[in-house]
Structure 1
């Protein structure tokens, strides 16, 4: 009995405490109910909480009291259909010709046979558009915003322009929008942000600084030196570079001497009276 459990709450009968009377607060001498139909046991706590278990077996569905429901479990319905139904099905199958069961198709038809794409649509999709040039706005443009504006996957923009990290876009002046995804053919930023003239002016300044390499001028003044030479040459790049080289050549041939009788120093004097030609004015 120590290992026997209640058939409804699955609690061990030995672990169930006794019930107490609400009025006298004394333990009620009530034991578990032993079922005659299946020799199972229902604990006193379950019979107290649910008085129906005092006269009813939940497993065998048998009641000791008269009830309108039938006693005991019902047998499951037969799985085989009646003989009349079998005869009806055989007669129905025999009335169907054998040709109806034989398919005329060896396999399902392909969807391409049922639906033909319009020729103009196929030609339009087969033509890959040209790449579109977009001038980058470093303040407002990013890879994700450009992908949304052009309707192009962000990975396609990165792959087309060799951008491995999105922050590298700020260093680009222009990028290409892949034409295989963007069919509009119109750039949303067809011109430089600062204008073509300003972009050309900045390009000449960069080219002059690369060609001349003003080493004897502090870095913070080199940009001003480039503007000085380009303004004097009316922004003619070749003339500005030629003027600077002539000044440097003249400064090397005419070194400035601080005191007589001393060897020439490395400081050069330009024709304008300053060391290093025009660069000496800012040095």
Structure 2
């Protein structure tokens, strides 16, 4: 029993008449090149199979190419030639070099375009996005985009702002140092670090401990921790002598002010 080489159906199972128009199907075609069979149903669906073998890729009709032209070769693998060897190149290929040398003017412009933005220390009494835009000749949307400011009122939470450099921007910052001075900036930085280290949110308590230690951050933090430890070791004495001391909500045995009272009692 043979089967169709295109649809893989048994020839005995292929109907004689077409299911659509009830016409007689063509007779099965046996290929001369490979002795395979194509059923009549496949011949009616694709008339090319009447003159073409899908396996051998050959046709029984003459080529439609003009006289003098040959058909392209078939896709056959070419065995490697063992006698063929690759000859080594005499010289190494040349390196990749720019075809057009860059001029000094172009390099200067590229360096200026890639320069870093300027750092401006803010003075919240007078600095706003419009005023900075006029002072540095920079569009306001560009200032907001570089500093990721979705709204102008967020500038009040910043201490510095970046100014994008351009051809019309001044070469140096108009406010290169903190407005209150570097010493004041260092003092406030120590206060913030003390508050983070001790987890105390009271600004006055931080100033008090730092002033007592001469703004020595490590000594101020150690003094606060010693006061807290003393309160835990002497709870009754801390309650008895800490009645007049201002307490902070959630501060346990007196909180930060209680610790300060403990420091005064121990001293």
Return the TM-score normalized by structure 2: 0.49
What's the TM-score once normalised by structure 1's chain length? 0.47
Structure 1 or 2, whichever has the larger Rg, is 1
